[in-house]
Amino acid sequence: MEVHHHPHVPNHSKPWKEYIIEGLMIFVAVTLGYAAENVREHYVNKHKGIISVQNLYKDLREDSLNYVNSIKNRNFQDSCFFVISNLFDENKIKNEIPTVYAAHSNISLRMLPIMNTMALDQIKSSGALNFIEDNELKQLIQSYSGDENGLKLREQREFSFIDRMVDPITTSRFEYNYFQKIGNSNFDILNNKIIINIKVPEKLKIVKENTFDWDNYLSILGMLRTIRKSTDESYIIPTQKKCDKLMFLVRKYLEENNSLID
């Protein structure tokens, strides 16, 4: 015969202290779980932020080099302008047509630095900016990012002037074949004189020279130089300084987080 045992069901309530202890244990477990999740999420987000800052550091180094090269090239354009401007003032410009060709080939070039924005856009769109624990760095990132619009506006200003005022002279008054050959790499400037390093065709001339308005030509180039000088002083140089300062802060931030990759 099988004997069936009925389970023992306690018919008395727990002491109130046990309910408090159980409640505290549940509260502590939930709190610790929530805290652990926050720590994990903070770590993940900070790691994402560091990766974004590493990418920004790469872009800033390239930007800094672009600014240096751009200013150097634009200063050379200034030197080209001064060479032919001095010839014009001395009434010698009509006898130095090869020099005009060389100078014009460089002055008519479009040279403006382009800011790398991929890392900046990623930092802003991903929310990584919120995970950077350095207020000065965050503010400078936002400020530097805003300079992109200024550079683009100046680019439109300069290039539009070249399109309207300089290019028509280039295409209608300079002999195409030699103009293309001389370029800015085939001549140097020494003692305010242009030294051409390739053979100059005999009887090189300005097309329809008899109707060429030298006063207007120098006025156009002078205006272009004024526009470029304004761009340099008000946009490129300040942005370059901001780039270098931001690069310093970014490097410091990465070093402090043992994440610098050269």
The two structure tokens encoding residue 51: 């990766």
The CB-based long-range contact list for 176-182 (8 Å cut-off, 24+ gap) reads 178/101, 178/204, 179/101, 179/104, 179/105, 182/101, 182/102, 182/105
Kind and range of the H or E run holding 187: strand 187-190
- Rounded CA separation 43/48 (Å): 9
Asked if 26 contacts 212 with a C-beta cutoff of 8 angstroms, the reply is no
pLDDT at 84: 96
Query: What pLDDT band is residue 163 in, cutting at 50, 70 and 90?
Result: very high
Q: Which of 26-35, 128-137, 194-203 has the least mean pLDDT?
A: 26-35
pLDDT at 6: 55
Q: How many CB atoms lie within 10 A of CB 236?
A: 22
Query: What pLDDT band is residue 128 in, cutting at 50, 70 and 90?
Result: confident
pLDDT at 36: 47
Question: For residue range 74-124, what is the model confidence (pLDDT) as tens digits?
Answer: 999 999 999 999 999 999 999 999 999 999 999 999 999 999 999 998 888
Q: What's the rounded mean pLDDT across residues 154-169?
A: 97
pLDDT at 134: 85
Phi-psi region of 73 (alpha: psi -120 to 50; beta: other; left: phi over 0): alpha
Q: Does the structure show a pLDDT above 80 at 72?
A: yes
Q: How many CB atoms lie within 10 A of CB 46?
A: 15
Phi-psi region of 258 (alpha: psi -120 to 50; beta: other; left: phi over 0): left
pLDDT at 203: 87
The residues facing 188 across adjacent strands are 195
pLDDT at 80: 96
What is the pLDDT of the chain when averaged over all its residues? 86
Q: Which tops the pLDDT comparison, 127 or 45?
A: 127
Q: What's the rounded mean pLDDT across residues 20-45?
A: 56
Asked if 112 contacts 155 with a C-beta cutoff of 8 angstroms, the reply is yes
CA Rg, the chain, in Å? 34
The pairing of strands 187-190 and 193-196 is antiparallel
Question: For residue range 205-249, what is the model confidence (pLDDT) as tens digits?
Answer: 999 999 999 999 999 999 999 999 999 999 999 999 999 999 999
Q: Is the pTM of this model over 0.85?
A: no
Query: What pLDDT band is residue 180 in, cutting at 50, 70 and 90?
Result: confident
pLDDT above 90 covers what percent of the chain?
63
Q: Does the structure show a pLDDT above 60 at 34?
A: no
Among 146, 142, 117, 112, CA closest to 230: 112
pLDDT at 24: 65
Q: Does the structure show a pLDDT above 70 at 11?
A: no
pLDDT at 39: 47
Among 60, 54, 104, CA closest to 218: 104
Asked if 59 contacts 145 with a C-beta cutoff of 8 angstroms, the reply is no
The residues facing 189 across adjacent strands are 194
Asked if 159 contacts 73 with a C-beta cutoff of 8 angstroms, the reply is no
At a CB cut-off of 8 Å and minimum separation 6, what does 142 contact? 129
Q: Does the structure show a pLDDT above 80 at 26?
A: no
DSSP string, 35-63: HHHHHHHHHHHHHHHHHHHHHHHHHHHHH
Question: For residue range 46-69, what is the model confidence (pLDDT) as tens digits?
Answer: 666 788 889 999 999 999 999 999
- Rounded CA separation 87/81 (Å): 10
